[in-house]
Amino acid sequence: MTGELPGEAVRALSRARSLVALTGAGVSEESGIPTFRGGDGFWKGVRPEDLASPEGFARDPAMVWAWYASRVSAIRAARPNPAHDTLARLERRMRVTVVTQNVDGLHRDAGSATVLELHGSIRRVRCHRQGCRDGDGRFPDLPDGDDPPRCRCGERLRPDVVWFGEMLPEGILDAAGEALRGADIVLVAGTSSVVYPAAALPLAALEAGIPVLEVNPEETPLTPLATWSVRGLAGRVLPALREAADAEPGAS
């Protein structure tokens, strides 16, 4: 871990009764799942932003389906890492709401009880036709490259995730806002803080006078605004934060 733990942040965490953790792809990186914008940022020469969109799906449904099928198989082999485990363990000492942009389901696998999946779940599929529920189900095991399977209504199936240009699930931003309003501290871990409306959530917390602690090996647009920002890997910094908070005199 490179970044020192700010003493004030440790004291705030030790006294907190309620925490909101806003997480991004970086907290799953140590589980072996590539981040969205890390590496060369391409998949078979295509940018994820161009694949994770209705336009990308309309243009080449087999390519988009193959991309998700390759991600689903990587995710099925993945296990939670100490970052996920720490957020689940913190529930023993405070109310924890995980608000995640990730679609991999690893927070629930780690045992987190309250997880808001802002961008849906790659483990599920649904019908591409707005409102049709006949296609709801588990992502099927299919060889790569197949044209997506069809719903009973005849429309293509697609991953149950939110694509660029699509609205987030009904009510989930309200639920995230409600959790934020009741938080004593907001932890922002493993996100480049560039995707909206998720990236607006820590800003709303700061507006409301709630301290925000960022954990990321790199600086992000949130770094200069956060109350504290630690340069480090979530899988190391989060356990260290929890241990330091537990050791604080008068820890709640």
Applying CB under 6 A, which residues contact ligand BV8? 24-26, 29-30, 35-38, 52, 101-103, 119, 161-167, 189-192, 194-197, 215-218, 220, 233-235
CB nearer to ligand BV8: give 223 or 248.
Answer: 223
Residue 152 CA to residue 159 CA, distance in Å, equals 16
Residue nearest to ligand BV8 (CB): 26
Residue 128 a catalytic site member: no
Nearer to ligand BV8, 98 or 215 (CB): 215
Give residue 125's identity as a one-letter amino acid code.
V
Cβ at position 250, least distance to ligand BV8 in Å: 29
| Residue 112 three-state SS | coil
207 vs 209, beta carbon nearer ligand BV8? 207
Least CB distance to ligand BV8 at residue 75 (A) = 11
Q: How far is the CB of 84 from ligand BV8 (least distance, A)?
A: 11
Nearest approach, Cβ of residue 125 and ligand BV8 (Å): 13
Comparison of 95 and 238: residue with beta carbon closer to ligand BV8: 238
- Detail the DSSP E strand segments found in the chain: 18-23, 95-100, 115-117, 120-127, 137-138, 157-161, 185-189, 212-215, 228-230
CA angle 237, 6, 199 (to 5 degrees): 65
Residue 169, token pair as written in the block: 């699930």
Residue 55 Cα distances to 127, 147, 195, angstroms: 16, 16, 18
Q: Which among 84, 107, 119, 128 is annotated as catalytic?
A: 119
The catalytic residue positions are 119
